Amino acid sequence: MTTIGIIGSGNIGSQLAHAFTRVGHDVVVANSRGPASLAGLVADVEAQARAAGSAATATAGTVEEAAQAGELVVVTIPLKAVTDIPAHLLEGRIVIDTNNYYPQRDGQIAELDDESTTTSELVARHFAGARVVKAFNHIPATEITDHAQAPGTDGRRALAVYGDDAGAVEQVTGLIDAIGFDVVNGGGLAESWRIQRDTPGYIPRFTAEELREKLAEAKRYRDM
């Protein structure tokens, strides 16, 4: 059993809390509004974990508590808010970045507009002491739990991961498989644009073979 920190309690964060606890991982969840705002969520997460036969716990915490709860931390907040998290809190940890870039929400970011970098590379630059892995940015939140299936299931859905640290990618791959999905390793963070908004692999359900094909079909925005 591992404790996983989740910074962000929105659609993705809440679904990951459910997914992780169902397979036996404790979670510490935080948001910008404080632990008191999370009482209902953690109670629901624990209730559903018990229904699934898991003894895992869900705890509401501060951002600092979630960041330092364990080796692995999910950062699932708007891209514009990532730099509000002190970088030292996640030093030495594996950080799962779920972000997508929405200029209408995040403001215009020149390096993303001219495609000289990727969202995950920006996240990794801020959390320079962490090992960042891109995951969960291309699946509707409710499908994280609704589409989960046992390993070996015919037609099992696949999710893509990207990262520059092979050990971190391996750990995240194992976690994703445990919660119900096959995994396609797309390469380093610089290649993670292949699963950003409006690319062929973004959002629809694909098997591993199909997802690899969609990633290969992806084109830069400037080439579309």
Task: Provide the CATH number for the domain around residue 211.
Answer: 3.40.50.720
By the 8 A CB rule, do 88 and 129 touch?
yes
pLDDT tens per residue, range 182-197: 999 999 999 999 999 9
DSSP state of 201: T
Q: Tell me which residue of 51, 79, 74 sits closest to 63, measured CA to CA.
A: 74
CA distance 27 to 60: 9
pLDDT tens per residue, range 152-184: 999 999 999 999 999 999 999 999 999 999 999
Q: Which domain holds residue 110?
A: 3-223
pLDDT tens per residue, range 7-17: 999 999 999 99
At 221, the pLDDT band (50, 70, 90 cuts) reads confident
Mean pLDDT of the residues in the chain: 97
Q: How many domains, in total, are found in the chain?
A: 1
pLDDT tens per residue, range 194-217: 999 999 999 999 999 999 999 999
User: What pTM, to 2 d.p., does this model score?
Assistant: 0.96
Which position has the token pair 């694909």? Answer: 206
CA distance 79 to 74: 13
